[in-house]
Amino acid sequence: MGESALVGVWPLSPLQEGMLFHAVYDEHATDVYVEQMDLGLEGPLDPAVLRASWQALLDRHESLRAGFRLRSSGAPVQLVRRRVVLPWQEVDLSHLPEDEMPARVERLGAAEQARRFDLADPPLIRILLVKVGENLHRMVVTMHHIVLDGWSLPILMQELWSAYEAGGSAAGLPEVTPYSDYLKWLARQDKEEARDAWREALDGADEPTLIAPVERDAAPVHCQVVYATADAALDEGLRDLVQAHGLTLNTVVQGAWGLLVGKLTGRRDVVFGA
């Protein structure tokens, strides 16, 4: 009897359940949980070793081999495959004039991000490697947020380059702490106690905090980024402020945003996510 194609059947975390709901609610709309990193790589690069390194990470982490389905009962489940093959694409644009390069790379990345994942068909990550010059590459990593978050990515990238330095092998990396351990820990928690805590924290928040009119039939869009640079005086003032009050810069920025949203909405109690 041959080996099973599956090595695990797991529940979902509450956050994963929410993402799966939105993904299957409208399978033709933009999936706003498809995220992307575009990394510039300078210096000699062996694409075959880089590809092997990514594959080694998929082999190493069960959570990167998970597909997501709804049972006939409607309950969500993630099915972990024994083996998946990394979707990998290489494009050589090094022959193009330098002034045309950024727009072409951006178009390629946008097309990758617009292409939806089938959440039932892992892996929910794919790599596009674009050669833009001699010893210059752009690595576009497109992934679904249901399997990777902001805490995971730095760890994954550190492991990627460790595997690359080892010739495409993850054998020398520390033992993995399985994601399933976290799911088991979640299952042991008192869900009703958690609900009570959130009801208390959100008491009085009876409606959304809106700073612009709601367009009921608007299509979902990917997040955009706004960049701003603090001048030297503001930078120094913020540094003095956080040191004087024992705060983090993130806390100060979120506090300032909360005050601004309160003024925009005319409310003293505002709710926003970060």
Average pLDDT, rounded, for the chain: 92
Q: How far is CA 128 from CA 124, 144, 174, 272, in A?
A: 14, 15, 27, 34
pLDDT for res 235: 93
Q: How many CA atoms lie within 13 A of 211 on its CB side?
A: 11
Three-class SS of residue 20? helix
User: Which strands make up the sheet holding 6-10, listed edge to edge?
Assistant: 6-10, 76-81, 66-70
pLDDT of residue 207: 82
- What pLDDT score does 55 carry? 98
Q: What is the pTM of this model?
A: 0.83
pLDDT digits (tens, 9 = 90+) for 231-240: 999 999 999 9
Mean pLDDT across the stretch 120-126?
Answer: 97
Q: Which of 36, 124, 30 is nearest to 86 (CA)?
A: 124
Distance CA 99, CA 80 (A): 44
Q: Is 175 exposed, middle or buried (0-12, 13-18, 19+ CB in 10 A)?
A: exposed
pLDDT at site 226: 86
Minimal CA–CA distance to 64: which of 141, 140, 4, 133?
141
Q: What is the band of 2 on the pLDDT scale with cuts at 50, 70, 90? A: low
**3-state secondary structure at position 18:** helix
Residue that is written with structure tokens 């040191």 in the block: 243
Mean pLDDT of 221-247: 90
114 pLDDT above the threshold of 60: yes
- pLDDT (0 to 100) of residue 111: 94
One-letter amino acid of 200: E
Sheet (strand 125-133) strand order: 34-42, 136-144, 125-133, 88-92
Question: Which of 71-75, 98-102, 107-111 shows the highest mean pLDDT?
Answer: 107-111
- Name all domains of the chain by residue range, CATH numbers in brackets: 6-187 (3.30.559.10), 202-265 (no CATH)
How far apart (Å, rounded) are the C-alpha atoms in residues 105 and 39? 11
Q: Does 209 have pLDDT greater than 70?
A: yes
- Asked if the peptide bond before residue 97 counts as cis, ω within 30 degrees of 0, the response is no
Task: Name the nearest CA neighbour of 67 among 49, 79, 84.
Answer: 79
Distance, CA of 211 to CA of 209 (rounded, Å): 7
The answer on pLDDT for 95 being more than 70 is yes
- Collect all residues with Cβ–Cβ distance below 8 Å to 41 and sequence separation of at least 6: 136, 137, 138, 139
pLDDT digits (tens, 9 = 90+) for 253-266: 999 999 999 999 98
Is pLDDT of 21 > 70?
yes
- Grade residue 15 by pLDDT with cuts at 50, 70 and 90: very high
pLDDT exceeds 80 at position 155: yes
Retrieve residue 153's tokens: 């990515």
CA–CA distance, 91 with 46 (Å, rounded to integer):
14
What is the spatial distance between Cα 7 and Cα 61, in angstroms, rounded to a whole number?
A: 12
Angle at alpha carbon of residue 12, lines to 9 and 14, rounded to 5°: 170
Average of per-residue pLDDT across 37-57? 97
